[in-house]
Amino acid sequence: MKTSFMRKIDYHIGIPVCFLFSCLHSLSRILLRKQRTVTNPKKVLFIKFFGLGTIVLATPAIKKCQELYPNAKLYFLTFGENKKIFDLINIGKEIKVLSISSSSIGSFGGGSLKMLAQLRRERFDVVIDFEFFSRFSSIVSFLSRSRCRIGFYNYFIEGLYRGNFLTHKVFYNHHQHTSLAFLDMIESMRIGDTLPYNKIQHKALVMPRDVGICFTISDEEREKFQEKFKLSHTKRLVLLNPNVSEGFIDLRRWPLPHFATLALELLRDFPDVEIGIIGSENDVSTALELEQLINHTRVTNFAGKTSLRELCIMLDTSRYLVTNDSGPAHLAALADTHVITLFGPDTPMLFSPVSKQTTNMFLQLGCSPCGSIYNGKRTICRDNQCLKQISPEMVCREVVKGL
């Protein structure tokens, strides 16, 4: 299903359902006064459906939960296309991944009903909803019958209504990096009756690689990958990602001619540099257009030709990734490569990749960022000057520093 269609379902059906569940929750609060502090949970469920990159940003929070509750069984619910990421990342303790297909309305509806039945059988002690303001995920948390439900709550923010049935209401702070906001949710499990629940101090971002969250790739896999795609051991690989995920601010794209100019400058100045263009099967046409713009023998188009595992191997063997604000930027943060992320409609203050080897390019125009959690990552802008004014020369200077 398209993200725009899912938004409509979430709005028109989600709002009345959330209101009904809020009434039921208020009634239960009157009849049953439950202790909300979590001491020793046996089963914890995390929910995050949208955004491969934000799932990566949530991994330090999952790691923290493992440390605080080493005996708890951890589960993660997501869409089917995100499931494979957990086979690639070493987070520590095994996590059971549950998934719902979003390929069609029929598979989504049937899969959701089956999943709800399974969640109710599991009887989770805690459900942590990592979605920002999705009503579907909050409805799932309520129907799971979990005693404690943790998630973002809007308080006095107009719009973005998702009910009033969370037991631990975490204030969404739009001045705080998303990775820290997810950590707040874990810490709030130990807090009793207080509003908001995230009265917690964090001094610095947790680097996933510093706590052992990284790709699990063997040397043999790297060799096979380089042989399959005929990559030279003596060349330095610079990857370009001209794509963004569908449905969330398409204006996050840096212009293709800018990508082409950058590639041509690097190929001209560095004879030992190879350029790789990455993307999924949905990005083949965009990647092909960029390949034609560059038109050079040292350019390889990998779009649609690699699995997610092969993409991670490629990221880990490359020298640089230059990318729009999208999932590969956060995957690259788990690899041994330098990632340059181009921001405009969104802000690195909230969504930058968490790595010591990262450069965020952001011009801070008067209108930027225009997409946020509050407007559902939508914008009326039709001319992304916030990205167009990031020149190829500006990006090239950053890449040259490491070459």
199-226 pLDDT tens trace: 777 778 889 888 889 887 888 888 888 8
Strand partners, 300: 276
pLDDT in tens, 226-259: 888 888 877 899 999 999 876 566 788 999 999 9
* 53 and 187 both lie in a single domain: yes
Q: How far apart are CA 116 and CA 140, in angstroms?
A: 7
* 140 and 278 both lie in a single domain: no
Helical residues (DSSP H) of 236-306, grouped into ranges: 256-269, 284-294
> Residue 324: what pLDDT?
95
> Residue 32: what pLDDT?
62
- Percentage of residues of the chain with pLDDT beyond 70: 96
162-176, 251-265, 282-296, 332-346: the lowest-pLDDT one: 162-176
* 68 and 97 both lie in a single domain: yes
* 46 and 10 both lie in a single domain: yes
* 274 and 390 both lie in a single domain: yes
* 285 and 398 both lie in a single domain: yes
In this structure, are residues 208 and 182 in contact, taking their beta carbons and an 8 Å threshold? no
Range of the domain at 344: 217-402
* 289 and 351 both lie in a single domain: yes
Give me the number of domains the chain comprises: 2
Q: What is the CATH number of the domain that holds 30?
A: 3.40.50.2000
* 48 and 176 both lie in a single domain: yes
* 171 and 234 both lie in a single domain: no
- Between the alpha carbon of residue 349 and those of residues 26, 55, 165, 192, 376, the distances in Å are 36, 17, 30, 30, 17
Q: Which of 185, 211, 237 is the last residue of a domain?
A: 211
pLDDT in tens, 39-57: 789 999 999 998 889 999 9
Question: How many Å is the Cα radius of gyration of the chain?
Answer: 22
* 309 and 227 both lie in a single domain: yes
> Residue 263: what pLDDT?
97
On the CB side of 133, CA atoms within 13 Å amount to 21
Which run of H or of E encompasses 322? strand 320-324
* 166 and 306 both lie in a single domain: no
Give every CB contact of residue 218 below 8 A, 6+ residues apart in sequence. Answer: none
* 365 and 230 both lie in a single domain: yes
Q: Which of 211, 226, 259 is the last residue of a domain?
A: 211
Q: Which of 195, 211, 227 is the last residue of a domain?
A: 211
